[in-house]
Amino acid sequence: MLTPKYPPTDTAPTVPTSAPTASSTGPATSTPVPVAPVPVSNRPTIQLTPGSTLALVGGGTAVVLIVGTVLVSMLLAVAITGVSVAICAVVLRSLLNDSRKGR
């Protein structure tokens, strides 16, 4: 299920190479052998329709909103924790100052 699917390897026809033959009548000439064009990719292309584009935009917007909400919640939690620690520090400081003064 989780194994990657690799596209099939390109199978280009091989061109047989022949050694030039020595002939006494003239220089050896070789005629080029036509080669069939090889497709660039066998994978189908993705075509975006207006509906799928709208779905992608909507999905992206939902992800951004959810991530933003989580980040703001975490920032708010840190801020509330900081304020509560500061209030505890002020209360403890005042209690210690009162106990030193003998009140």
d(CA 13, CA 16): 9
Position with higher pLDDT, 96 vs 23: 96
Domain boundaries, the chain: 69-103
User: Do residues 5 and 31 lie in contact, with contact meaning Cβ atoms separated by under 8 Å?
Assistant: no
With beta carbons less than 8 A apart as the criterion, state whether 40 and 18 touch.
no
- What's the average model confidence in pLDDT over 39-61? 83
Select the highest-mean-pLDDT range: 8-12, 44-48, 97-101. Answer: 97-101
Tokens 């509906």 found at? 51
In this structure, which amino acid lies at residue 74? Answer: M
**Separation CA 53–CA 65 (nearest Å):** 18
